[in-house]
């Protein structure tokens, strides 16, 4: 085993940064326990475990060591278990730059766009747990839940519209990374996991799936995170908000 101490990943099931860390640990061959924290209490629990101001998943414990945030976790794991490198020799700095871009620029798209679609189609929130469509009482709860999520993440329709306008260019940027060999190569890099997890989440939204089809971004998402279900069919967003790639 690459790391002898007990490794625990504190996560939320739908979180794409958590999926990125889990995929990287699997690739490294590191045994770990995935612990799902309860919704509503996870922010307080993470802050208690990882320190003031650190309220989001993921967090990773390695023995007594505590590491917070997906990029920080991947960097630390690489130091402790360099086999199956996440930052291959010769392109390590560029991969790290792409990874940071994925975690910084792209990651919030994977929050705002899906939660935005669910704002317009709250009855579909149950699909996260295998329920095709919620009943009226469940939809009432879903509406409250989605609104609270918007408030927590500072989501607005203006921000979502800006995201949707920028998304085609972001996908072009990811394709350019693939052409440089930073992602979508023979072996995965940290950037594959960071970017792929977010794209996988975005691809569950039918309105943006055509923007992703045929891209290196979508190949990476499907390659490392599996078949992508449709969470919200096309039509949640006004058609004028969706921008196509050139």
Q: What is the pLDDT of residues 75-115, one digit of tens each?
A: 999 999 999 999 999 999 999 999 999 999 999 999 999 99
Same domain, 55 and 23: yes
Average model confidence (pLDDT) across the chain: 96
For residues 133 and 130, give the distance between their C-alpha atoms in angstroms, rounded to a whole number: 9
Within a domain: 246: no
The DSSP bridge pattern shows strands 59-62 and 7-11 to be antiparallel
Same domain, 46 and 159: no
Same domain, 156 and 197: yes
Residues 6+ apart with CB under 8 A from 109: 163, 167, 170, 198, 202
| Angle in degrees, 0-180, between the axes of helices 109-120 and 190-202, rounded to the nearest 10 | 10
Within a domain: 58: yes
| 134 has a pLDDT exceeding 80 | yes
* Last residue of one domain, picked from the residues 84, 114, 145: 84
Within a domain: 119: yes
Percent of the chain with pLDDT over 90: 92
In this prediction, residue 12 carries a pLDDT of 93
Within a domain: 89: no
Question: What is the domain count for the chain?
Answer: 2
* Over residues 175-195, mean pLDDT: 98
Tokens of 97: 């730059």
Tokens of 236: 């949640």
Q: pTM to 2 decimals? A: 0.95
* Over residues 105-132, mean pLDDT: 94
* Last residue of one domain, picked from the residues 33, 66, 84: 84
For residues 230 and 43, give the distance between their C-alpha atoms in angstroms, rounded to a whole number: 28
Distances (CA, A) of 218 to 27, 57, 212, 224, 242: 19, 24, 6, 10, 18
Question: How many other CB atoms are there within 10 angstroms of residue 1's CB atom?
Answer: 9
In this prediction, residue 1 carries a pLDDT of 54
Domain that holds residue 117: 94-241
* Last residue of one domain, picked from the residues 52, 84, 116: 84
């Amino acid at each position: 085993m690459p790391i002898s101490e007990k490794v625990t990943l504190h996560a939320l099931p739908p979180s794409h940064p958590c999926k990125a860390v889990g995929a990287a640990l699997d690739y490294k061959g590191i045994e770990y326990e995935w612990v799902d924290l309860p919704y509503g209490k996870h922010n307080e629990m993470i802050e208690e475990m990882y320190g003031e101001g650190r309220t989001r998943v993921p967090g990773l414990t390695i023995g007594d060591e505590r590491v917070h945030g997906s990029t920080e976790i991947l960097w630390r794991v690489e130091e402790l278990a360099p086999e199956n490198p996440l930052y291959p020799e010769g392109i390590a700095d560029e991969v790290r730059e792409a990874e940071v871009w994925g975690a910084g620029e792209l990651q919030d798209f994977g929050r705002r766009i899906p939660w935005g679609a669910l704002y317009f189609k709250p009855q579909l929130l149950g699909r996260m747990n295998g329920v095709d469509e919620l009943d009226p009482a469940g939809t009432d709860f879903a509406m409250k839940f989605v609104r609270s999520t918007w408030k927590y993440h500072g989501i607005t329709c203006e921000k979502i519209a800006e995201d949707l306008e920028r998304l085609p260019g972001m996908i072009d940027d990811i394709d350019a990374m693939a052409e440089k060999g930073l992602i979508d190569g023979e072996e995965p890099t940290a950037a594959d996991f960071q970017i792929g997890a977010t794209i996988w989440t975005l691809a569950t939204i039918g309105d943006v799936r055509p923007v992703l089809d045929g891209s290196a971004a979508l190949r990476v998402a499907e390659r490392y995170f599996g078949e992508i279900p449709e969470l919200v069919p096309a039509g949640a967003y006004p058609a004028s908000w969706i921008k196509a790639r050139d």
